[in-house]
Structure 1
Amino acid sequence: MTDAARGHSTATLFEASAGAAHACDPGLRPSWQGARVAGPAFTVQGIGGDNLALHRAVAAAPAGSVLVVDLQGARHGHLGEILAVAAQQRGILGLVVDGGVRDTAEQAELDFPVFARHITVVGTGKDHPGTFDVPVRVGGVVVRPGDLVVGDADGVVVLRAEAVAETLDRSDERVAAEQRALAAIRGGVTTLEYYRLGSGSTP
């Protein structure tokens, strides 16, 4: 569906989307440096402080999907090393969770990308089964099943499934334009000159 979003950054996708992409709030951050994920959302509605829904989602989600989980921003370690390994074995690409996680060093060693609101050692219960494949709110953004989710060092963006192909094409064009700009600037042209910013413009 996405070819890993063609390698585009969250910033490029957001700027090229013509309003079809939505940026999750900056509280959702990569749990380890260098984490990056891109893929269709498998949505999970759970209860903060309980991770039974995540255990069930790992068993149910199709390979090639990204778990996108609403846990109400709860300050609990809903996913750790064991669930990360289990998710990788199932072919799940990564996790975006409005809640907390733990074992971030192990996630980095596994190269399993996780984006979360908190990093914490606080444990969880296992009582609430959760609901799958329903719209969820994560980072202030409503995510529908199958929406494209992309996370990198700058944050997380969500792109409506029906707008993916067009946005990726525009992103390709935007990157090409930026490369032309960079070549000119490295050749000595100022940004004021290249972008024709008038002297009366506010910096």
Structure 2
Amino acid sequence: MPGAWPGARLCGPAFTVQGAGGDNLALHHAVAEAPAGHVLVVDVGGAAFGHWGEILTVAAQARGLTGLLIDGGVRDRAELERLGFPVFSRNDAIGGTRKDFPGVLGRPIRVGGVEVGTGDLVVGDADGVVAIASADIERILGAADARVEKEQDIITQLCTGRATLDLYPFGRQAAQRS
């Protein structure tokens, strides 16, 4: 799911919300209940309604929330960017919503086909969004740090004139197959 504005970046523990397509009452409840520092992660079934916009963004920022990942539509992109609130959504939609379903908060949900639970780590940038199960965070972040360190070493070597074929084993494997 893409960010609602260029440069949007998201990182924090998830606070999950099961809502209903075309209804944003669950989001109002979530903004009131979610702990500061959390990212709202919302399943509204991919519905193309403006579930979230400027008003909920200001409310979320006032409560110390750090972003939104929603499997559904949002509106007010320009205002979201101006406010610097990172939002990653399935689509953009101007259509209004009803306020009937209070939602289910803090239970595992599915967003983009991925199960996310409250407390899982959610990270998003221009390349997309990932969710890391809370039990795996330390291991995954350790592996990510090691990969970044290895890639920095490779970039340094590339800048000195080395070729990718020299630095990765696929070059040797391809040569051996010839």
TM-score tier by shorter-chain length is: over 0.9
Instruction: State yes or no: 1:200 paired with 2:159.
Output: no
Percent of matched pairs sharing the same residue: 55
Q: What residue number does 1:98 align with?
A: 71
Instruction: Provide the rounded CA distance (Å) in 1 between the counterparts of 2:167 and 2:100.
Output: 59
Instruction: Provide the rounded CA distance (Å) in 1 between the counterparts of 2:151 and 2:67.
Output: 29
Instruction: Write the mapping of 1:1-203 to structure 2, written as runs, cut at 5 A.
Output: 28-196=1-169, 197-198=171-172, 200=174
Q: Quick one: which amino acid aligns to residue 19 of structure 2? A: G
Higher Rg of the two aligned structures = 2
Q: Give the SS at the match of 1:64.
A: coil
Instruction: Provide the rounded CA distance (Å) in 2 between the counterparts of 1:168 and 1:139.
Output: 22
Q: Quick one: which amino acid aligns to residue 198 of structure 1? A: R
Displacement after TM superposition at 1:199 (Å) = 6.6
Instruction: Provide the rounded CA distance (Å) in 2 between the counterparts of 1:120 and 1:33.
Output: 18
Runs of 4+ in 1 over 3 A off after TM superposition: none
Instruction: Provide the rounded CA distance (Å) in 2 between the counterparts of 1:119 and 1:156.
Output: 17
Displacement after TM superposition at 1:110 (Å) = 0.5
Normalised to the residue count of structure 1, the TM-score between the two structures is 0.84
Normalised to the residue count of structure 2, the TM-score between the two structures is 0.95
Structure 2: 5+ residue stretches without partners: none
Structure 1: 5+ residue stretches without partners: 1-27
